[in-house]
Amino acid sequence: MFKKVLIANRGEVALRVLRTCRELGIETVAIHSEADSEAMHVKLADESVCIGPPPVSQSYLNIPSIITAATITNTDAIHPGYGFLSENARFAEIVEEHGYKFIGPKSEHIKLMGNKIKAKETMLASGVQSIPGINEIGSINQVKDFGKEYGYPLIIKAVNGGGGKGMRKIYDEKEIEDSISSAKKESLNAFGDDSVYLEKLLINPKHIEIQIIADQYGNVVHLGERDCSVQRNHQKLIEESPSVTLSKEEREQIGLTSVNAVRAIKYEGLGTLEFLYENNKFYFMEMNTRLQVEHPVTEMITNIDLVKEQIRIAAGDKMKMQQNEIEINGHAIECRINAENPKTFIPSPGMINRYHQPGGLGVRIESAVYEGYKIPSHYDSMIAKLITHGADREECISRMKRALEEYVIMGVDNTIQLHQDILKENNFVSGKYNINFMNDIR
């Protein structure tokens, strides 16, 4: 097992990794920008190193500074968390080149799955169906012919994209040229690559993802699915597991399909396969080669510490669990709490004047903020994840409503009220919602 792990991230995920390291007897190194000197993970880590000014390009994305921090603290391994450099294949390579263990998959798998076209082709070769589309757009007429064959709407996506950037919907032929042009421009600005591809746009799908764990010895298991359909601008707001939409047979089928695909490429570590689900069919979208923001949902229903498994696998341990030993118990829901105006979604950095977390049976908080903490303006606006667990979905929702009522965050705008409104919506309560849910209620 590692003796010391550097956590190359910030906020609640840095704190989450730190706590698991502490349980495993591993010393921790917290890196931080000048803006995060008072962050909770910095206060609780065994050592901390300031790596630069507040802008992420000069701190949390500054690979030389992170490697230097690892060197001066005699680190064994580096955990990237999620976001920032967690899916940067070159960062993983550099970490290994300097003699540290990257707590995540091999750089070749990060690179493979980071390219949406190659990921689709790889999964298709393993028997995983994807949405009909054009991987390499040669001409406008090619897109027009595709539209005539499959019908509109269509969608342009960035090959190396994510989070909704570099995406444009096309509703008729007249929009094709401008949509491709604007998608390529946004993709170039966001990812340094203007490569885009085309897909048929599904109208009312569910967003379903499968959590997998794989070790270097060929052992792979899945931990069920998460329904992430409550989204705004392709950013997830609420996740739950299990999905109320899937039958037992569908759950087993997509789980086994995901396991076989991951085993075929000899993947190692945590991973999540994301699908669109419509008319009883699954269509592969992408694979995230990292810990997911919504991982606590899976932990609550399986009682498996995903971060602990991730670290053990990176250290070379053989996975002890078998697929037939994994049990799904009850229901879990996660609400992402952002420091944003709940109506305009404008970020609201600033001082938290009063803070009180909910508690009680089946309630979990993942947050690194505290009363008197000043939320920086330089980073993502998510400040907490509220997770509840119940014997069934009804109890889980009731528990979440109670927890949201108890949650007090004053001094900054936040989205607690937004989540309270969502949980009252009939389509959410009944489970009859899809990725257009937020468009229908806002």
Q: What is the mean pLDDT of residues 162-166?
A: 79
Q: Residue 442: its pLDDT value, please? A: 61
Question: For 311-362, where are the E strands, in sequence order?
Answer: 331-338, 350-351, 354-356
Instruction: List, by residue range, all CATH 3.40.50.20 domains of the chain.
Output: 4-103
Lowest mean per-residue pLDDT among 114-128, 291-305, 344-358: 114-128
User: Which run of H or E residues covers position 347?
Assistant: none
Shortest CA distance to 333 belongs to which of 258, 412, 406, 431? 431
CATH superfamily of 132-200: ATP-grasp fold, A domain (3.30.1490.20)
CATH of 206-441, one of 1.20.1260.10, 2.40.128.640, 3.30.70.1450, 3.30.470.20: 3.30.470.20
Helix (H, G, I), strand (E, B) or coil at 166: coil
Question: How many other β-carbons are positioned within 10 Å of the β-carbon of residue 349?
Answer: 17
Instruction: List, by residue range, all CATH 3.30.470.20 domains of the chain.
Output: 206-441
206-258, pLDDT tens digit by residue?
999 999 999 999 999 999 999 999 999 889 999 999 999 999 999 999 999 99
- Fold classified for 4-103: Rossmann fold (3.40.50)
CA 322 to chain centre: 25
What type of residue is 224?
Answer: G
Indicate which residues carry an active-site annotation.
290
Shortest CA distance to 222 belongs to which of 207, 196, 245, 241? 241
Q: What angle do CA 206, 362, 369 make, to 5 degrees?
A: 85
Contact (CB, 8 A) for 283 and 129:
yes
pLDDT band at 160 (very low <50, low <70, confident <90, very high): confident
CA 215 to chain centre: 20
| Parallel, antiparallel or unpaired: strands 350-351 and 374-375 | antiparallel
Instruction: List, by residue range, all CATH 3.30.1490.20 domains of the chain.
Output: 132-200
DSSP string across 250-270: HHHHHHHHHHHHHHHTT--EE
Q: Residue 138: its pLDDT value, please? A: 87
15-72, pLDDT tens digit by residue?
999 999 999 999 999 999 999 999 999 999 999 999 999 999 999 999 999 999 999 9
In the predicted structure, residue 162 carries a pLDDT above the cut 80: no
pLDDT band at 192 (very low <50, low <70, confident <90, very high): confident
**Could you write out the three-class secondary structure of 36-87?**
HCCCHHHHHCCEEEEEECCCHHHCCCCHHHHHHHHHHCCCCEEECCCCCCCC
CA dist 45 and 19 (Å) reads 9
In the predicted structure, residue 441 carries a pLDDT above the cut 80: no
State pTM to two decimals: 0.92
Question: How many other β-carbons are positioned within 10 Å of the β-carbon of residue 372?
Answer: 12
74-91, pLDDT tens digit by residue?
999 999 999 999 999 999
- As a whole number, the mean pLDDT across the chain is 95
362-390, pLDDT tens digit by residue?
999 999 999 999 999 999 999 999 999 99
